[in-house]
Amino acid sequence: MYRSGTVMAWNVFRFCAALRGLGSIMILLVLGVVGVTYYAVVITIYCPTIYNGGLQEAAIALSVVILFHFLLIMLLWSYFSVVLTDPGTVPPNWRPSMDEERAEVIPLKKSEYGSPILTLQQSGPLSDSVNPRYRYCRKCNQLKPPRCHHCSVCGRCVLKMDHHCVWVVNCVGALNYKFFLLFLLYTFLETTLVTLSLLPQFIGFFNDGELPGSPGTLATTFLAFVLNMAFAVSVLGFLIMHISLVSGNTTTIEAYEKKTTPKWRYDLGRRKNFEQVFGTDRAYWFIPKYSEEDLRRMPALQGLDYPSKPDLDAQEL
């Protein structure tokens, strides 16, 4: 039995190590797709049309090129913001906020699920246990703030962890979840634009008419169309799923964990749930950045403290 457990742990370790090793490969793959697409759309088709086509054709081509570059800049800005932003690390020696004069820390016990929990107890005449209960990570050997989970790939606890994404070579958590959502949005818009822009050339492959360009250029155009159409369809599914998660103020992990929970303590209504991720300053909603005012007055954007419904505060964090 011990040997079986050791083999399973070793397999999980090798799997996590393999995911970490994919890092630079996935970034190069993303940049490779961008490069192929740029060559097919801008260099091969629409820039030549601007210089050689008629007035109407040139105007349409110029509009496509401008919109393509705008979406590409936003896509890459959002992408590298996710890649380079720490999703949220538990501060050293973090402890839950409490009234030190009226509460004391009880030694860690085991919950019904086998995970140690920390319980706060009122001191004084009425000595009753008080929720919430704070979880303890045995791997990191530290307390876990609300909505925090341990990532086996990163080897640490991540604040409001959603999932570990191999495409961004990083965890998606409290501090970069907005950037990840914007990356999905701009990827969908960009790949949809490219798919529609290359559709006439793609249809031309199956017609009898001749298409201008060398075989290599035509092959690149065909590849760019197929890749962008595939990304547009797949990213749309992820985008719809995450829009649903944001509207309920939950994460992918929490959505799985609270299947049996009829009410969710952090669901404050769609608008407030949206602001918990994107902030309140509309000027910053669609760029991978927060305003200083939002960062100062919204603790949820820092990943350690979240407002919740008072009548559901007894739920385990």
Q: Which residues are catalytic?
A: 165
Q: What are the strands, taking DSSP E only, across the chain?
A: 103-105, 109-110, 116-122, 129-137, 142-143, 149-151, 156-158, 163-165, 170-172
Contact 293, 274 (CB under 8 A): no
Cβ-based neighbours of 218, under 8 Å, separated by 6 or more: 205, 211
Distance separating alpha carbons of residues 6 and 104, to the nearest angstrom: 39
Distances (CA, A) of 109 to 100, 117, 134, 296, 306: 21, 6, 11, 36, 25
Encoding tokens for residue 103? 């509460």
- The residue among 140, 142, 124, 121 whose CA lies nearest residue 132 is 121
- The residue among 23, 15, 31 whose CA lies nearest residue 166 is 23
For residues 20-46, one letter each, b for 16 or more C-beta atoms within 10 angstroms of the residue's C-beta and e for the rest, the string is eeeeeebbeebeebeebbbebbbebbb
- Inter-axis angle of helices 55-84 and 23-38, nearest 10: 170
Distance separating alpha carbons of residues 135 and 142, to the nearest angstrom: 9
Distance separating alpha carbons of residues 251 and 174, to the nearest angstrom: 10
Strands 156-158 and 149-151 turn out to be antiparallel
Position 220: which residue type?
T
